[in-house]
Amino acid sequence: MAEKMTGAEMVIQALQDQGVEHMFGYPGGAVLPMYDAIFQQDKIEHILVRHEQGATHMAEGYARSTGKVGVVLVTSGPGATNAVTGLTDALLDSIPMVCITGQVPTSLIGSDAFQECDTVGITRNCTKHNYLVKRIEDLPRIMHEAFYIAGSGRPGPVVVDIPKDVQFAVGEYSKPANLTSHKSYHPQLEGDLASIEAAVDYMLRARRPIFYTGGGIINAGPEASENLRELAELTGFPVTSTLMGLGAFPASNKQWMGMLGMHGRYEANMAMHDCDLMINIGARFDDRITGRLDAFSPNSTKIHVDIDPSSINKTVMVDLPIIGDCNHVLEEMIRIWRTKTNESREAALAPWWEQIDKWRAVNSLQYKPSKDVIKPQFAIERLAAATKDRDVYITTEVGQHQMWAAQYFPFEKPNHWMTSGGLGTMGYGLPAAVGVQVAHRDALVIDIAGEASVQMTMQEFSTAIQYHLPIKVFILNNEYMGMVRQWQELLHGGRYSSSYSESLPDFVKLAEAFGGKGIRCEDPANLDAAIQEMLDYDGPVLFDCRVSKEENCLPMIPSGKAHNEMILPDTADIGNIIDEEGKMLV
Amino acid sequence: MNAHLQPSGSAYFLTKDTNAVERHTLSVLVDNEPGILARIAGLFSARGFNIDSLTVSETEHEQGLSRITVVTVASPKVLTQIKLQLERLVPVHKVHDLTAEGNPLERELALVKVAGKGENRVETLRLADAFRAQVVDASTESFVFEITGKASKIEQFIALMVPLGLVEVVRTGLAAISRGPDRM
C-alpha cells in the first residue's frame, strides 16, 4: 500500500528517490511547506543562494560537471521570474535541470494575489517542458516525469509549479516507475544502422575529413568522449570542437585542432572551409560557428549526428543525418570501421595534414607579449601552467575573457569546462563555480571572469563563504566590457558608448568584506607568485588581475564573413592598418 | 590585417529567405491538457512561423486526446522545421503534414448573417440554395446561414453576400482529414 504524506513531503521524497543529494534555492511564502520538509530530513543538502538566478546557474554548473540533473527550488512570483534567465540558459545549452517553483493556492490563481505570476506561462518557451500541479494525485507522477524529461534525450530544464494548497494536501506517494513507455515522449537514442554504415563509407573515402564536435558529446557522458578519441585515433582525422564541446577531446592530442568559430583557431576554421567530409557530432551549426551561411564549407559532404531531429537541416542542409545519442553512434562507427578495414589511412590523409600544418604555422593565437602590463592571454597561460597537475574545473562569465579561456586553457577531460554558450549570460560563472564546488568539494574550481560580468552575480560569493566552498574567481580586469568595446571599435568607429566600467569596487576590499581573500596583481613579473598565493589559500578568493585595457580578442571571423576570411592577430588596431603577412594568409 | 574585410555592421549574418512558400495543412494529435493550445500557438509565434487557421477540439475522449488542424504558409525547409519543432513538444503525439501526404479532405463551417428586404432577400435565398447553405435563423429583415465546405467555397459565398447585405461572419477554421482507410 502506498504511503500517505503531504505534497511538500512528496516533493522531498521524490527528490530523494531520484538520487538528488544537493539542491539550490531560496525560500519564500509559497514554498514554506517544502522548506519545512527539507528541515526535517538530512539526505539532501540545500544550498541557500543570494538570488534565484544564482541558484539556476549553480544547478547548471552542478549538472554540467556531474552529468546529473541540477535541482532548484524557488518561491512564486519574483522567485520564479528571477529564475527565468538560468532556465533559458539551460535550454539553449541543453543542461538537465528541474526547477520547482511555489505558486499561490489554486483558489487564488488568476486573482493577482501577492507574489503571484503566471509561472507556466512565462516559462513555457524557456523550458523543455513545464507543469502546473493542480491536484495532489498528479504530484508524484509529475515529479518523476520531470526528472525523466530533464535528463533524457536532449537534456533541458523542466519547471514544476506547485500551488501552496497542493503542498499542504495529503495524498498517496508512488515511487519512480519506468517511464520509457511515456505516452508521447520518446527520444530516439539509437542511430539508424544503415545510416551509420553509410557514414563510415564516406569516412573511408574521405581525403580531407574533419570531426566537428559539440556539447552533445559531453551530454552523452564520459564514455562518449573516450569513444570520440578512439574513433579519431582509428581514423586519423583532425578534431575541432565548439565552445560547448571543449574537453571532450584532449587538447594535448596531436589531432586536436582547437576550437572553431568566430574566435576559433585559423587551422580549425580553414579546415572546416576546405574539408571534403564534415562529421558533425553533437553540435548544431550555431551562427557563432558557421559565419556566413552561404559560404559555409562549400565543397564538403556533411554528416550530422544529433539526438534532436529538429537540429537537422535547421540552418545548414546536410547530406546524411543520423538521429541518436552521440555515444551510441560513436560506438557503432568504431565497430563498423573495424569490420571494414584494419589498414591505416595515414598515407591517404598525409596531404591534408600537410595543409593543416601550414595553417597551424600561422600561429593564430600569437599575441604581443609585454613586460609592463599583464596581457590577458598571458594570464590564462600562467593560470593553466600553475594548475596543470590539479583536477581543475573552469567556469567563465561571458565576453573576451571567456573566449581567451577557451583559446588558451587546454582541456583534457569532459565535464571540466562550464560556460554559457547559447544564451551568453554574463554572471554565469561565479554561481556555476559554486555549483561545481558543491559537487566536487576537493577539486580546484576557478571562475575565469571579467570585471563587468562578475558584478552581475557577485553576491553569490557570500554563498561560497557560507558553505566553505573555496572557489577562485580570477578576474581579468580591463575596466571595460571588453567584447562590447571590441565590437564598438570594429563596427561603431571606436565610440565606446557605455562600455567603460565606471566606479569599479575595490575587489580586494570587497572580497574581505564578504569574508574571503582578495589578491591584486598588476605586474607580469609578480603574476606567478600571486596565482600561487590564490591556489594556496584554503577558501574563496577574488583575484583582481589588472590586464591591458584595450586588447582585442583574436583571431576573429567578422560578422557576415566566411571561415576563410578571418582577422588574424597582429600588432595593429582592428580595421586600420594592413599587415602584409596577414593579408597574404587569408 | 585584412583590410578588404569591411564589417557588415551587425553581429549577425543577415540574409533573406527567398524560397517560395507553400500552404500546408498539418494535423497534430496532442494530449488535451491545460495550456496545450498556448504551447502550440506560442511555438509558432516564438519561432516566427505563420498560422493561417487553427482548429482544436477533443476527439478521443477516453484517452484525452485532441486533434489540432493548423494551416500554415512557409518554405519547404521551414515546413520541415515546423513539423519537427511541434514533435519536440512533450504533449504532442503525432504530427502529419496532410498536404504533403496528398490531397486531404478539408472542410470549414461558417455562420453568415445577411440583412435586407425585397428583391435582395429572394436573391439571397436563391444563392444560399445554390451553395447548399442552410437557414438556421430568420427574421423579417435577416437570415443566418450555416454553410460548410472548402474554404474557397465559403469565401465565394461571403463575397456574393456583400452586396446583398452581409452583416457579419463567423468561421470555425479548417478541419482536415486524410483520405482512405488509414488513421493518423
What is the ipTM, given to two decimal places?
Answer: 0.92
pLDDT at B6: 52
Q: Cβ-count burial of A194 within 10 angstroms (0-12 exposed, 13-18 middle, 19+ buried)?
A: exposed
pLDDT at A1: 55
Mutate to test the interface with B, among A91, A183, A317 (most CBs of B within 10 A): A183
pLDDT at A585: 37
Residue A583 has pLDDT above 50, yes or no: no
CB-nearest partner of A291 from B13, B84, B93: B13
pLDDT at A180: 76
| pLDDT tens figures, A499-555 | 999 999 999 999 999 999 999 999 999 999 999 999 999 999 999 999 999 999 999
d(CA A353, CA A275): 11
| pLDDT tens figures, A445-496 | 999 999 999 999 999 999 999 999 999 999 999 999 999 999 999 889 999 9
Considering A23, A458, A483, A534, which one is annotated as catalytic? A483
Per-residue exposure over A351-372, b if at least 16 CB sit within 10 Å of its own CB, e if not: ebbeebeebbebebbebeeeee
pLDDT at A574: 47
Q: How many CB pairs under 8 A join A and B?
A: 96
Nearest residue of B to residue A288 by CA position? Answer: B12
- For the entire predicted model, the pTM comes to 0.95
| pLDDT tens figures, A203-239 | 999 999 999 999 999 999 999 999 999 999 999 999 9
B155 CB neighbour count, 10 Å cutoff: 14
Residue A56 has pLDDT above 80, yes or no: yes
**Partners of A234 in the β-ladder:** none
Strands (E) in chain B, as ranges, are 22-31, 53-60, 65-74, 92-97, 105-115, 134-138, 142-149, 166-171, 175-177
pLDDT at A2: 77
- A581 pLDDT band, cuts 50/70/90, is very low
Mutate to test the interface with A, among B79, B85, B88 (most CBs of A within 10 A): B88
Residue A570 has pLDDT above 60, yes or no: yes
Q: What is the mean pLDDT of residues A31-48?
A: 98
Considering A13, A23, A34, A52, which one is annotated as catalytic? A52
| pLDDT tens figures, A136-151 | 999 999 999 999 999 9
3-state helix, strand, coil in chain A (%, to 5): 40, 20, 40
pLDDT at A462: 98
Residue (of A305, A334, A306) closest to A226 by Cα position = A334
The angle subtended at Cα A249 by Cα A247 and Cα A253, nearest 5°, is: 120
Residue B11 has pLDDT above 80, yes or no: no
Tell me how far apart the terminal alpha carbons of chain B are, to the nearest angstrom.
Answer: 59
d(CA B130, CA A106): 53
Q: What is the mean pLDDT of residues B175-182?
A: 95
Q: Cβ-count burial of A509 within 10 angstroms (0-12 exposed, 13-18 middle, 19+ buried)?
A: exposed
SS3 of A216, please?
helix
Inter-chain residue contact A575 with B7, CB threshold 8 Å: yes
- A427 pLDDT band, cuts 50/70/90, is very high
Q: What is the mean pLDDT of chain A?
A: 95
- Which residues in chain B are closer than 8 Å to A487, comparing Cβ atoms? 11
Considering A68, A128, A164, A472, which one is annotated as catalytic? A164
pLDDT at A561: 84
Cβ proximity of A222 and A415 under 8 Å: yes
A366 is catalytic: no
pLDDT at A584: 42
Residue A18 has pLDDT above 90, yes or no: yes
- A575 pLDDT band, cuts 50/70/90, is very low
Q: What is the mean pLDDT of residues A421-430?
A: 98
A543 is catalytic: no
pLDDT at A305: 98
Inter-chain residue contact A558 with B11, CB threshold 8 Å: no
Residue (of A18, A46, A28) closest to A167 by Cα position = A28
Considering A114, A233, A532, A549, which one is annotated as catalytic? A114
- B29 versus A562: the higher-pLDDT residue is B29
d(CA A163, CA A11): 12
Strand-strand pairing, B134-138 and B92-97 = unpaired
Nearest residue of B to residue A574 by CA position? Answer: B1
Distance to chain A for B10, nearest Cα, Å:
6
